[in-house]
Amino acid sequence: MLLLPILFVFIVASSSMVNSVKGQTNGLDFRFQAMVEGQCIIAYGGIGPGVPDPMIWSGIGKGHATVGGHAKDATAFPSSVAGLYISGDIRATGAVSVSWMDADGSKHRLAAMYSTETSEGLVYPSGNQFTLPIGGYSPGTKFLRFKGVYLNGSTTGFVSGIALFSAGIYGNLPGGDGVIVVLIDEQSGTLFLFGWSRTSTPTPFPPNYVPAANVYKSLVNVI
């Protein structure tokens, strides 16, 4: 399942391991990029332990998301999965734009740019998968930052805060072919979750599936 592991994305998990690789300069450097476009699962609400909680709305929308950057001085991540690397020096930029219609018929659209001067995350080159930052919402985590515009029915406002971009890694383990973008608007305390899948797959909340994306690309290469 694509989005079931998102239940654990914000469980406190691996930031202490990032500290263990800080200062090392004998690791590998990677370049990564991902791009998805098409129908996607959308859910938003309060900041819960994983999926939005309490849930305001979930359903199918459409849009696209991109990210690209590089991970420096990445070292082997202690895991049951061989070939997984961790970096505490990640630079990345990207964007997301999605639209949907709420249950009351109101139209919604969110468009945002995200970037980071330095973040932390995992790369899995043999699977062309990565996540930034590592799943785990703990003090000191270096998240992406985003700024954007949110159209909520007839109201337009600005949103900004922290972001997570995952291409195939959920928590700290490689998973299926799916892209998840999480945005937390710090002013309203709203968590937005957007998910795309390479193939049609079940989800843990209505409408209980996400259609296959029209475009799905994810690459990780050693520099």
pLDDT by residue, tens only, the chain of 223 residues: 444 444 444 433 333 334 444 444 579 999 999 999 999 999 999 987 767 889 999 899 999 999 999 999 999 998 888 999 999 899 999 999 999 998 889 999 999 999 987 888 999 999 999 999 876 545 577 889 999 999 998 899 999 999 999 999 877 778 778 999 999 999 999 999 999 999 998 877 777 888 999 999 999 999 9
CA 148 to chain centre: 16
CA 196 to chain centre: 10
Question: What single letter denotes the amino acid at residue 24?
Answer: Q
**Domain encompassing residue 138:** 4-222
Q: DSSP characters for 64-79?
A: EEEEEEEEEEEEE--S
- pLDDT given at position 47: 87
Residues with Cβ < 8 Å from 71, sequence gap 6 or more? Answer: 29, 30, 32, 85, 87, 89, 90, 121, 123, 130
Geometric angle at alpha carbon 51, from 80 and 37, rounded to 5°: 85
- pLDDT given at position 175: 76
Pairing label, strands 173-185, 190-197: antiparallel
**How many structural domains is the chain composed of?**
1
- pLDDT given at position 11: 36
- pLDDT given at position 22: 45
- pLDDT given at position 135: 64
Q: How far is it, in rounded angstroms, from Cα 170 to Cα 130?
A: 9
The count of other CB atoms within 10 Å of the CB of residue 202 is 12
